[in-house]
Structure 1
């Protein structure tokens, strides 16, 4: 190109602008690159800090398995607008919580990847461990969307580049315009030299230096550049020679083809290219080559194909073909690379086999992890091996070191035929021989590739049914072998090294699962024992709570029935003109009062063993039945008839029934409870049968009904306190009190019941000699002279009843309605020398109780007897909490005989009626 057609001035301007642009581009690229890398590093540091904070805050949620707290912690990421996703995984790698909550769990990774922060496209992904001390609790997954950040970065970068480019180009243009006249000649000289170099490719030409200064320096630099280009040209030729040498020695065939199909270059390996194509593919190969040469088929360019190749011996082998395109402005060439990939294919096959084995191992491990008994674990293992490995025969045996034998624990379903022929079905015994089995039980895996012709017993036994090779893998736990996994095939040398390694790994997993199953069974037994112990403790706790409740109930009820007891007993004793009917009614009332008193006394301690002071007396059970029938008549006859229901009660009594030793009122109360229960069990009516039977040295008292009956679980629990099937109507104490009575009376409770067929409760009493002397309630105490008695009680009805009763016996009675009033009355009488012969005080009174009253009386007159009259009597005696200043404790409701005996004994011991 002529210099005149392209003036040097214009070229100078273009050159200056080009250099300035290049410098600008380099500077901008450097700055933007630095800012981009710095911003990415800063983003990672900020993200790491945020991840550590969230991970620290999430330790409690993972430690206590609280997904709610985890959701709240992750929801705090709303303040981070770049965070588009976060997930919290537990230590098993399962997703525990995620943010946003409305995003499906499938949008998050199934399992967290390796810890760290990395960029993925326009996102930043962070995997942060969640630890507590040295313990890893889980993993935090965070995802930032950096599209907006990158957008702003590109915008600002482009703006800076545009501004700097405009400024620099304007300055360069002004500078070149000013200086172009001063440098035209040196530039023209340089141009002529460059044209000479370009035309002749002669890099030895040098430009003539014109003047000094920058242009002279430029000429020197230009000449130096030519010298370096000359050196590089020589180096390139040397490099081309080296590349050629490498291609010539490469094992990959390289062929360079023009678009026209003409081969322009190749290496020696490519000389065999035509010969390695199998015959059945050669026509297709030539057609595709022709099509590619003519059309330049883009579908095959820059892609890798796997094709079969042909060796000189006629065997095929896999090859890899890739086609690269080398194109410039004028011509395009294709470079073919052909590589033998036999070894890679073999490695891939081995890797695929190993992956399939690992997948099988994983499936088996997961399956046995869900089972807690050895039999099902062994079934899963052997079944999976038979189906997937596969096996012709497989079984698991348990090792007994004492007898040196293996016991077959499980045989695969497909192996049962061979197992039957081998006499190795479940529970069969296999002795340890000196071949592989003895070494296996010591912890070594044994592989016998061909057992045909073996002289050892066990291999010979397997060979007798057509098996040729087998593997025996030990099942070790804590350095001890407890079993052996046997796998056999009918082909010799049929187990590869990976097969044996897989069986070895599997045996370790099976051993661990079996050990865990044994631990689980042991823990289950321990748990059952603990649960039974807890139930026993809870039952004792319920009994203690019942006793505490009964103490308060007993006090109130005893106070209420005390006047009734006193008046009833007085009428029976003092009114000889009563009719037989009235006397009978009063006697029934008296028995009922005594039963009530005994019942509320037992409410707190119905499971307590009979105390020594409670004396058993002869009881005629046949005599109790009519009494109970009369006492319960309204409950089983009148009340059901109001609802149109008929309940009949029959008595089947054995004549001449011997007496049994017991507490009569307790047995009568228990019989009443059983009758009430029988009525409740017959909502549609029916028949109640009370029966007495002698059976050898025992006497049976039975209550049977024709009601709904009980299932086995209800029958087993019906004696538990507070257990009831009556809903809100029941207390759950009736049968429990019956059981307590039986314990105190040396009796046994038997319950027979079936749904829809009724229930029979049987009380079994022994026929034996009395264990103590029966107290005769009708015996009279020694006569007592008239006494002056002070009664202190806050219950006006009880005061009136005691006063009437004692005055009927000839005593003088003074009553005080409270503790302080009683102390004042006693002090007044003591000052007036009108002392009381005896003081009867209640225990529980407001402000001043019976303890303070007795203490005050003993302080004034130590010889004055004090009787504590209370409904808490049994509790005080049982807990040994008798007040210090009390001479005698009498229970409420009182009995005249007990009261008279106490008066006689205390006044006789005192020796005087006066203090």
Structure 2
């Protein structure tokens, strides 16, 4: 690199020359060997040696001496030459600290300055541009100022400086003199034939009638540009770029203007080469230092978060970027995990995010095993849509580098910038070198983390095992309780479904009595209707109580006994008669019910109410499956030591998929009209009875539901407890309930047993009546406005300890389950309650008191 440089270079130990390149020999007339054995100041002209020693002393004292400095040289042949000298250092070499001195031959420029200074004032601007090139401003500021002076020098209207990007082999815009020129594309390939031609030929290209070109750039046409001159930028034998100057005047550029532009652009090329060399040396020194520090960090630190932070901080000193992320490949899931993220945020792409591998830069570099650089948008990219979120977040260019471990790509390190074309070949070289250490460090960290995770998991597993063994009984209780609550949630709407089924005959027979008054004259028929209403209503009450079964398995409190399946089937056919005899489109052809009951009375062991609910549910489901009418057949029999009954319809049947899912909670083919819980409840009841449910069905040919249950002799027969007879009369009783119908019904119960009753609609009213009157007994609801039943009973207990209080509530079964008894309450009775049972409970309490 030093030998090929177009600038003269000396590497010195203090003032002794240790090495000089061929250009140094060419500018001084000495051979490289002669230069390497002499003091550097010997090549300085005697007129400038004092200035040289003064500058050296000032630099050693710590003063910041700007580069470059102009000196006269005396060649070996005695020729006087001029050169611009720049000093970089100190730089660490193998022998110790040293300096790198570069020089560019300025003899022609000095002679041109002498000539220019003698010309008219217009040419004085060329001297100013030379000063800018030798100034201390930043490179971008220098280029912008040079471009403005070039335009001003020839009285032009606009201009651009473009340099060659070796990685893309395109001319990239470096500076403009007018903001509207930003409309021009970044590289030359799509529009600037003039700049391309000047760069390709290495000669100035002048067009003094630009608007006549077929491929004139629209932006220049809008600006009314009529003359364009493109001058190639040379440094020695290397073409660096192109300067383009524009004018709104036709035939603007003559020989004199082109000569001036060519002379100044030649100086610009020298400046750019000097800047490149100095930057390379400094960058190489910084790169070596950063690499050494990172290598030390990665070999001594397994905390990758700290490694990432240091890496991105140091890398940003060499390559400017706005966002950096490490994406680790998870081959098992064909996905990426964002492990490290620094800089600009992208919605949905935070650290820890997992996203598909397909269509990403990481997938591409993993397949190629090589770095890629891209700008957005890349319209011919088949995965452009997957990368749009980066462009939408203002990140317009990217470089993605594969990270290797043991020869395989395990991740990628992607750097993104908000500037288009932000990354070049040099950036790629630097980042690839730095990333060499990241892959193995990442693999080691992952292995270390997996080892730690495994150890932690083993410790946690051991602790968990001990905890599990110690608390197994408690955990089992919690699981059972959770299952009970899940069953309650799943089946509660099924209870409502069954309750509506029970309401159907109640409403039906009640309407018959209301709409046909003559039926009341027929005592036998009226009694039969009322008895059916009472039977179904009692079953509805049992349905409400059965909610407990959804969060509590059957226990010894539930009475199982011998159930005559023949009698139960006949009774349920009768109870569902209002359903299957109804008129309307749902049963257009009518329902024909047949029975095939076994001789010998098949007796099942179970709950008569539950099994009646199973039969009624299956009857109603079968009717729903025959919208055009059909035949429903119910048969009973025996299967080994099991009692059996079947319900067969000639309805629409079920597909195999529907049949498999028929017992799932909430699954229904009836749309909004079905709850999807009828068969689920049937299944649950059969399961609690240790029975079997099988479903046979063919789409379009009907269905058969078969229930098999343990026979009646499979379990003990429980005797019904003897009920106490006789109710206490002559009591003065206060009844408090916010439901008027319940309040009146309870009052009627009590009055029918020769008691006097007063009623209150809330707890506060009841308390005032209790204060004002003389009562033998208080019966109160629990949930009431203003003053609830608990508060009412507690107040009575405070004022008259031992005063008898009965709480009649819909929460009664739940309170019994958890053995809850509010303060001051002597007896809890569940709603609904029959008259006889209610009066028996009242009598039993008052006799105790």
Normalised to the residue count of structure 1, the TM-score between the two structures is 0.44
**Which structure would you say has the larger Rg?**
1
Which of the pair is proportionally richer in helix? 1
Normalised to the residue count of structure 2, the TM-score between the two structures is 0.47
